[in-house]
Amino acid sequence: MFTNNPRHVDHDDATAPDAGAAFTRIPPHDADAEQAVIGTLMLAGSPTSASYRYFAETLETGIRPADYYRPAHATIHRAVCDLRQAGEPIDIRTVTDALTRSGDLARIGGAPYLVTCAQAVPSAAHGPAYAEIVRAKAYRRTAIEAATRIMEYAYSGEGDENDVRDLIEQQLTGIVAGMPGLQAAPPTVGDLYLDFIADLEAIQEGRKTGTTYGFADLDALTSGMQPGNVTVIAAPSGVGKSTLALNAAVAAAKAGASVMFSSLEMSENELMQKIAAAEGKIALHHMTHQGTLTPDRWEKARRLGVELFNTLPLRVYRPDSASLGDIASAARACVRQGGLGILVVDYLQLIDVESSRNANREQVVAAVSRGLKNLAVQLDCHVIALSQLNDDGLMRESRAIKNDASVVIKVHRPDAEDKESPRAGEVDLIVEKNRFGPTASVTVAAQLHYSRFHDMGQV
């Protein structure tokens, strides 16, 4: 049985004092680690299950069928990946069926061997560590094979010294290029120049714009939402920052972006109510109080299903826990199932991260902010992160939030502070930070009974 230490290394590889024995030694491999990887992959379940994250993280190590020493493990790995490609759930039964259909079940040791692999996993969470062990062993085998080819050619007497040198260079270059975790040299500015010019032309000709926020003046000021960046929307409670973010999410989805809205405050049904209110212009309280939907409002709600909801690439997610890891895992699942352009997180101060026992709240929120920025870069998506404001107008508990953001928008409603304000129904989107242009204030209209903000003058 595999040890619970993910850095466990299987038996020591046999050694011998003479070089000739190198051709007869058992190549480096770790059978237990290979079984643990296969077991982790087979415990994935469906794409919506909690364990599916370990499946994705294991494959993200770059492990391939060719990395396994045992051909049976390579065969099982391919079958699992085929199931994933087909969108099928992954477990021992589905893998058994797949191998039966391909005629490979007997060759891998039958169904009992699949059970053995599943039982060889002390913790699926260590799947990526097991995969790294397998990849490291495979790399050693690749090095041995390259060295063997060099030795055999040198012993053969074929060619001249130039041929020997060419073979050595070719083999060593291949070994170094295939080293697990090897960092490639960054490109030079000369390498980047042509892409830079093409990008510049696309921007100037209007062929490349960021994803819309749904507000014309805000898009013009910020160039829209750019991949790999973070927008922070900050406001006190009750001003409408969740509504603003949800409006932006729907606008982006209407423009063709795949969007995930993660809320720690509202249920999926509450989010659906707010979208329906905004898009159907149905007063929110008519959907939350008995007997208030007239036949024409019912008809509006029905048409939204056909005309909007059935085609809108917008996912809503209510995490089981307030964990950044859960949100990241759901975001990765979106990437695997059609892509992810915009991720909305409502809101920063409610999210937890694994942190030192001695970390204060400001350090925890800073870690969340940094984690969301890293996620935006890793997934090449834009993140909208909502943040609470203190009474003095500062983002609660962490100024690091502003450092990680590319755009910071504070939401100010004059009529929230003064019910008699002559600017009732107006909202200022104060862009305090903008890496893509100047800072300024954009005024939009609020129809909060419809859960809706919109451009001034728009009906």
SS3 for 63?
A: coil
pLDDT in tens, 410-452: 999 988 878 888 888 899 999 999 998 899 999 999 999 999 9
> Of the candidates 186, 234, 244, which has an alpha carbon nearest to the alpha carbon of residue 214?
244
- Residue in the block written with tokens 């939401």: 411
pLDDT digits (tens, 9 = 90+) for 170-179: 777 666 666 5
Q: Residue 12: what residue type?
A: D
Q: Which domains does the chain have, with CATH numbers?
A: 19-177 (1.10.860.10), 216-455 (3.40.50.300)
pLDDT tens digits for range 261-285: 999 888 899 999 999 999 988 888 8
Q: To 10 degrees, the CA torsion angle through 222, 225, 229, 233?
A: 80
Q: Are 55 and 90 in contact (CB under 8 A)?
A: yes
Q: Of 239-243, 247-251, 362-366, where does the model show the most confidence?
A: 247-251
Contacts of 60 (CB under 8 A, 6+ apart): 128
Which long-range contacts (C-beta less than 8 Å, at least 24 apart) are formed by 164-173? 171/146, 171/147, 172/146
CA distance 451 to 438: 29
pLDDT at residue number 12: 38
Strand pairing class (440-447; 426-434): antiparallel
Distance between CA atoms of residues 342 and 230, nearest Å: 10
* Dist CA 433 CA 407 (whole Å): 5
How many other CB atoms are found less than 10 A from the CB of residue 433? 15
Give the whole-angstrom CA distance, residue 334 versus residue 340: 6
Classify residue 225 by its DSSP letter: B
Residue type, 64: R
Distance between CA atoms of residues 428 and 440, nearest Å: 10
Q: What is the pLDDT of residues 40-84, one digit of tens each?
A: 998 876 665 667 778 888 888 889 998 999 999 999 999 998 888
Task: Give the separation between CA 251 and CA 445, rounded to whole angstroms.
Answer: 16
pLDDT band, very low/low/confident/very high, at 255 (cuts 50, 70, 90): very high
SS3 154: helix
DSSP string, 86-133: TT--BSHHHHHHHHHHHT-TTTTTHHHHHHHHHHT-S-GGGHHHHHHH
Alpha carbon separation from 370 to 196, 242, 292, 373, 433 (Å, rounded) = 28, 21, 45, 5, 17
3-class DSSP assignment, residue 445: strand
- pLDDT score of 319: 80
257: helix, coil or strand? coil
Of 147, 166, 41, whose CA–CA distance to 98 is shortest? 41
E strands along 28-67, which residues?
none
Segment (H or E) for 146:
helix 127-156
Residues 316-354 have pLDDT tens digits of 998 877 778 788 888 888 888 888 999 999 888 888 765
DSSP reduced 3-state for 427: strand
